[in-house]
């Protein structure tokens, strides 16, 4: 049951609230991006591993997350926060923030300018606001539910390619050897049936680029909610389709497939 007073539930009040959330997400993502960009290219500090020796985290990840969480707590103390590096908290407002302070950590640590900050605010029906900020390219992808998706104030639209065989598709890999074997099996099925595959190392940017029509599709298993909440909203608001799957092939972990509308079922069927 919605505990807000009736005046706060009018269409105008709801629109203003979503706009305020979007403004906050944009400001916070850009602040974190500025912090990361200032350190980009310098020797990394505090580098350690998480799930495996190939799954890295650094002080840059931690400090960017601390900045984001601090700003969100100050502005929205009753909201829940689900953050990649562990500074999560419960909330009472019915809204949850999904935070990946640095998606593409390996790229960042190797000096490859393909990484981003991604934030989403979600209610019980999914994301209502999403931001993917790419400081290296000065591009910020944004979306609000039912209001379209944009990059730097230009409206986004997915590609119109109707033929899976002519599609440029992105994917990503996990960090565990067995996980990678399973993902390799999926890649072996897809690669002969598409124009080509790309693996650039940031799930959030893969989704943003589907929304921008740079990729025709994207799939990945073993994905975390903070990686994709913003991107799924942005793809859908750009006219695409994004589906969560229980697994891909013999990989039972949660997966995402995002494409333009024309090739969605063909790619889903290929991955089943």
48 — pLDDT class (breaks 50, 70, 90): low
Q: How far is CA 112 from the centre of its chain?
A: 19
How do residues 166-187 score in pLDDT, each as one tens digit? Answer: 999 999 998 778 888 888 989 9
The dihedrals phi and psi of 20, each to the nearest 5 degrees, come to -65, -40
pLDDT confidence of residue 35: 96
At 53 the pLDDT is: 46
Mean pLDDT of 9-30: 87
pLDDT at 209: 99
For 112-144, write each residue's pLDDT tens digit.
999 999 999 999 999 999 999 999 999 999 999
Average pLDDT over residues 249-257: 83
Q: Kindly report the three-state secondary structure assignment for every residue of 141-209.
A: EEEECCCCEEECCEECCCCCCCCHHHCEEEECCCCCHHHHHHHHHHHHHHHHHCCEEECCCCHHHHHHH
Q: What does the alpha-carbon distance between residue 83 and residue 95 come to, in Å, rounded to a whole number? A: 14
The mean pLDDT value for 16-38 works out to: 97
Alpha helices by DSSP H, 40-91: 59-75
Average pLDDT over residues 150-176: 95
**Regarding predicted confidence, which is higher, 44 or 53?**
44
Arithmetic mean of pLDDT, 188-215 = 98
CB 33 within 8 A of CB 135: yes
Q: Which domains does the chain have, with CATH numbers?
A: 6-155 (3.30.540.10), 164-271 (3.40.190.80)
């Amino acid at each position: 049951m919605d505990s807000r007073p009736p005046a706060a539930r009018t269409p105008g009040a709801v629109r203003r609230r979503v706009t305020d959330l979007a403004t906050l997400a944009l400001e916070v993502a850009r602040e974190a991006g500025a912090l990361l960009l200032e350190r980009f290219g310098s020797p990394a500090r505090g580098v350690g591993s998480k799930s495996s020796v190939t799954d890295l985290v650094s002080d840059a990840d931690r400090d960017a997350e601390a900045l984001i969480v601090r700003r969100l707590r100050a502005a929205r103390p009753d909201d829940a926060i689900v953050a990649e590096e562990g500074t999560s908290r419960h909330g009472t407002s019915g809204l949850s923030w999904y935070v990946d302070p640095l998606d593409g950590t390996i790229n960042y640590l190797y000096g490859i300018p393909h990484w981003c900050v991604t934030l989403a605010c979600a209610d019980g029906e999914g994301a209502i606001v999403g931001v993917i900020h790419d400081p290296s390219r000065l591009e910020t992808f944004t979306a609000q539910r039912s209001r379209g998706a944009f990059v730097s104030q230009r409206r986004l639209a997915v590609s119109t390619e109707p033929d899976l065989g002519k599609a440029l598709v992105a994917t990503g890999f996990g960090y565990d050897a067995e996980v990678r074997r399973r993902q390799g099996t999926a890649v072996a099925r897809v690669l002969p049936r598409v124009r080509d595959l790309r693996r650039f190392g940031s799930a959030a940017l893969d989704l943003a680029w589907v929304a921008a029509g740079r990729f025709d599709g994207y799939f990945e298993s073993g994905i975390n909610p903070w990686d994709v909440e913003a991107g799924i909203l942005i793809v859908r608001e750009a006219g695409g389709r994004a589906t969560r799957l229980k697994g891909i092939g013999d990989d039972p972990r949660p997966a995402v497939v995002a494409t333009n509308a024309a090739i969605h079922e063909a790619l889903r069927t290929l991955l089943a």
